Chain A
Amino acid sequence: MHRARDDVEDLVVAKHTEALRRGFRVWPRLGFLPPALGDARWTPELILATWVQAESGCPPGGGLEHRVGRSGGGFDRLDFTFLPAQEQLAEREPVDTSIALGRRDERSLDIPIPWYGAGMSFGSVSERIMLARAKAARAWKTFTSTGEGGYPESLFEYRDHVIVQIATGMFGVREETILSSPIVELKYAQGAKPGLGGHLLGDKATVAVARMRESVPWVSLFSPFPFHSVYSVEDHRKHVDWVRAIHPQALVAVKVSTPADVDMVAVGSYHAGADVLQIDGGYGGTGAAPEIAKKNIAMPIELAIPRVHRTLVEEGIRDELTVLASGGIRTAWDVAKAIALGADGCVLGTTELVALGCTRCANCERGRGCPFGLTTTDPELSRLVDPDWGAERVSRLYSSFQREIAGILRRLGMRSVRELRGRTDVLMYVGEGSGDGR
């Protein structure tokens, strides 16, 4: 009897999984834009283009816009000023897209692409999604972050590519997971809800999630803001020291939001001993957040990067701190523009979820969670994403992004993405009268 029911459940999952995968392939070729898909930031074209890249590993052809959205500002109004064709590097010329994470003392790690995966906690996403992202991170020798929800055992196999996050709720923070991570991330704030901490709705705090977080099942969990042990940036030092005491070899990353004094935050983080600073702009975010927090608190990432970069240069410490931008990075072109504005690289979150099938319907928090099996802990829904399939999608997206960035660098005559950092002279602003930025 149970066997028969299991068979039906398996068939149901298989039926919908197959239909979804077919849909992700077919939709970009429908010849029209699905009328209810997308928004100003993630236009239908961008979502479909991301699906194409996750399918093929290449930028889409056929004129499908894959570079900018229609938000009317920020990255969507910036473009590159390329060299004349004869001065560009030839296609066969090798281009280095690697960046260094941490550049002081003997602690440094190179990653071959200028980004890694953002923190998304177990609970906000399923373990299968975490696994898919970790597999892709290993394949690309980059990283993914646990977010603040603990470190599922299934990730241990990928521990050389998993960042463990310590956030204000300290959920799932254990000495052994810190010890197993090459990078430890202290999350002070997140762009999607700056200054508001975190919130996992009770429906998502399943038995497994609660066990991982050492909490009570089906009870909402709040990560407070800010760290209750930090009253000034000087106190930040003790957090770094605490991590170093446990794991001296680990790089310490600090994730902060983008307040008016984000430049001072950067300087303070450096002096506290951070190796990597992740500045998280307000327009990103993968989980549920109060609507009022999304648009209105703290500045967009495009405006924060130059402020941080210039201040670190003026302080003479720019080359010792790796600055990664996140919170609104959608495309390879956004990555390149963020670097030209002054970041070393980026952190990708929503983009990876879109590659896995997210339509950005914003129902992550409703009922059983994401209907595509992404931001859910529902056992049946989460089966819609097979980790190997997901890893392939993310890997192919990375491949396309790397190809795009290499192409941009060649057209700028640059042999390394490290040359692009802070080169606002290769950018141009596309005004309102010129149509959308590209």
Chain B
Amino acid sequence: MRVAAGADRVGESGPYARHRLAGAFAPDLFPVPPRFRVRVRKLSLARLLLRELVEYRGKLGVVSSRPCMYGVFSGPLGGFAPREQLCVGCLRCTVEYPDVVQIHPNPERERTGGSLLPPDDVDALLYEARTGRVPVRGAGYRGPFGGEGWDGLWTDMSEIVRPTRDGIHSRETIATDVDIGEFPSWLRFDAAGEPLGPIPRFLTIQVPFLFDLPPSSVGSPELFRVLADAARRIGTLALVPAQWATEPALRGPHVVPVLSRFRGAAPDDLGFAPRMLEIDGWDRARFSEVIQRFPTSLIAVRVSAGADILGIVRDGARILHLVADYRGRAGGRFMGDAARSAHGQLVEAGVREEVTLIGSGGLVRPEHLAKAIVCGIDAGALDVPLWVALQGRFGAECRDRETCRVELPRLDPGWAAQRLVNLAASWRDQLLEVLGAMGLREVRRLRGELGRALFQLELEREAFSGIRGYAPRA
């Protein structure tokens, strides 16, 4: 069918192949700081051992039995040289012998995410990049009740009233592919059945996320090749500045060259027609010019998440990349609020189904992505998690890609691409958990489904109104 000819699936050999991401162990290049510092009073330990030698009459099997299951005190020198890297913070040693050993949080680890990320997020991202698996821990939730941004939002789940809204059971097949492109609201056909006017033009990525431009401080051909290779293996896209996209190795279908808003600032002569291009900023004349130059390519426009997107859509743009800073802020608003606003405006204008919204900034954990999609974006463009996965070190001030200083280690291409594939595999599996809980068979159904969002402010207003002292926050 002609209409389908406009579709382009990324990362599949056939239209109905089941997409799989091949995770493989990719160890950290260098050790991360241990979570805990183990402080042993060596004199007290010596006294303890002597006392136990007497008490247990020299039974070494008893005396040498240590209070740690994880091997912290099982090195050649036992407790005299604890192996901090193995400490998981169970505290059993210090409960048993508080006068001999104390466990402290490692301040060095607290700094691993710089000012941008809490250490738990860094740990989780590294685990995901290393293993490709879903982080699992015991003992329930440990953090704040709610908060700003994504913390003030929970996703819904299905219960016995509607456990099978889509007929889904547990971990049945759930589609995570997303279409990016232009979708006219209706089709017209001539007498011969041939379409008149625009037809849908889109490409499909296998996961609802792509790779955003790296910070200016780390852009290099090696990094872009890694991003492009990982995007190919995942079935998604990597955004690459146009000046680098001219390199032959980067001319693949998984690369989205990003053109400057200003004519002549970067080469427009790419030497090939990419499937998708992005213009860094909105300029009506420039948009028309790029369309003319690349008539077969999809054209995305990169704008602030606080921008007037309705005007841009009215001027013809159909793929909008809403950009916030690395903390998810843009124009005084949080990404989630900006996405809700953009989505709502497009719904009101009756053009939501014609437009693709990509969001970036503040998407650090997979739940952020799920929540951003609930708020209205179709797909997220990842930034910070990628650099953490590659064990980048963040400078003190890291607000956005212009100001952020990231120092990446020397990248082995195979290792680096595998780390990103692992990250993607883990995030995809975690999205499946959220979607499965909601009874959704496909991530596309989640987009803008605000009925499946539970907002802290609204719930608190309902629960606590009438309780003395409660005043709804603005």
Contacts and interface: CB of A to CB of B under 8 A. Distances in A.
Q: Does A associate with B in a complex? A: yes
Interface of A: 8, 11-12, 15-16, 19-20, 22-24, 26-27, 30, 34-37, 39-42, 71-74, 76-78, 81, 188-189, 192, 194-197, 199, 222, 224-228, 230-233, 235-236, 256-257, 259-262, 264-265, 268-269, 282-300, 302-303, 305-307, 328, 341, 350, 357-368, 370-372, 375, 381, 424-425, 427-431
A363 B169 contact: no
A contacts with B: majority SS: loop
B62 A364 contact: no
B36 interface: yes
A35 B69 CA distance: 21
Given A289-B136, A297-B155, A297-B434, A23 B142 contact: no
Given A74-B145, A366-B88, A24 B161 contact: no
B273 interface: no
Contacts of B103: 34-36
B95 A230 contact: no
A8 B62 contact: yes
Contact of B96 (A23, A197, A228, A257): A23
Contacts of B466: 424-425
Interface of B: 36, 52, 56, 59, 61-62, 65, 67-70, 88-92, 94-98, 102-105, 124, 134-147, 151, 154-164, 169-170, 365-367, 370-371, 430, 433-434, 436-439, 451-452, 454, 456, 459-460, 462-464, 466-471
A262 B157 CA distance: 10
Contacts of A73: 144-146, 456, 460
Contacts of A283: 140-141, 145
A364 B144 contact: no
23 contacts: A35-B104, A40-B142, A42-B142, A71-B145, A224-B170, A232-B163, A260-B452, A265-B161, A286-B139, A288-B138, A289-B136, A290-B433, A294-B141, A295-B143, A295-B154, A296-B154, A359-B95, A361-B91, A367-B70, A371-B68, A427-B468, A429-B468, A431-B469
B281 to A, nearest CB: 34
A299 B156 CA distance: 8
B469 A8 contact: no
B157 to A, nearest CB: 4
A81 B468 contact: yes
B463 A16 contact: no
A226 B160 contact: yes
A429 B139 contact: no
A296 B95 CA distance: 32
A60 B169 CA distance: 47
Nearest to B66: A16
Given A16-B67, A40-B144, A257-B159, A303 B430 contact: no
Contact of B467 (A188, A366, A424): A424
